Amino acid sequence: MLCLATSFRAGSTVIRHSHAVRTLRQTHFHAQTSPRSVTRSFSPRTMASAQVPTYHVLQYSYVPDILEKRDPYRAEHLQGAKDMAAASKIVMAGALTDPVDGAIFVFKNVTKDEIEAFVRKDPYVINGLVPKYQIRPYMVVADSL
């Protein structure tokens, strides 16, 4: 289990803060990060919203002749992904190229059940253009978003 070694001073009381967010009554604390103290301002609302985001990757495998078969379903397929992106549920999505044999969708703060519901509604899946897919948790270690 990963624990963040952070201590906060609230008056004369030192509060140790691990990865779990705790409700704090006072809003100003002194974070001890090194031999010198740095003043930071925290509120219970700020601390509760500091959750680590979760990500999942949905990977589609396409039928070999996807480019010839997708036209009747493409607009609705793309609109479904754009709607999820507008709701901040998809961070990015797109087809794999050279060859075009699949697609990748990156979901943020969405449950596996929500992703399964998205897949069940996708016209590519409904019409047999995606014979196989997988949903995997994804751990981001670096990003620029």
Residues 87 and 111 in one domain: yes
Q: Please tell me the total count of domains within the chain.
A: 2
pTM: 0.66
Does 1 fall in a domain?
Answer: no
Does 92 fall in a domain?
Answer: yes
Please state, in angstroms and rounded to a whole number, the distance separating the CA atoms of residues 112 and 120.
12
Residues 24 and 87 in one domain: no
Domain holding 31, by residue range, is: 6-48
Residues 87 and 110 in one domain: yes
Q: What is the DSSP letter of 20?
A: S
Residues 118 and 78 in one domain: yes
pLDDT range class, residue 144, cuts 50, 70, 90: confident
Does 144 fall in a domain?
Answer: no
Does 38 fall in a domain?
Answer: yes
pLDDT tens-digit profile of 50-90? 688 999 999 999 999 999 999 999 999 999 999 999 999 99
**Residue 96 vs residues 14, 66, 102, 144: alpha-carbon distances, Å:** 52, 12, 5, 21
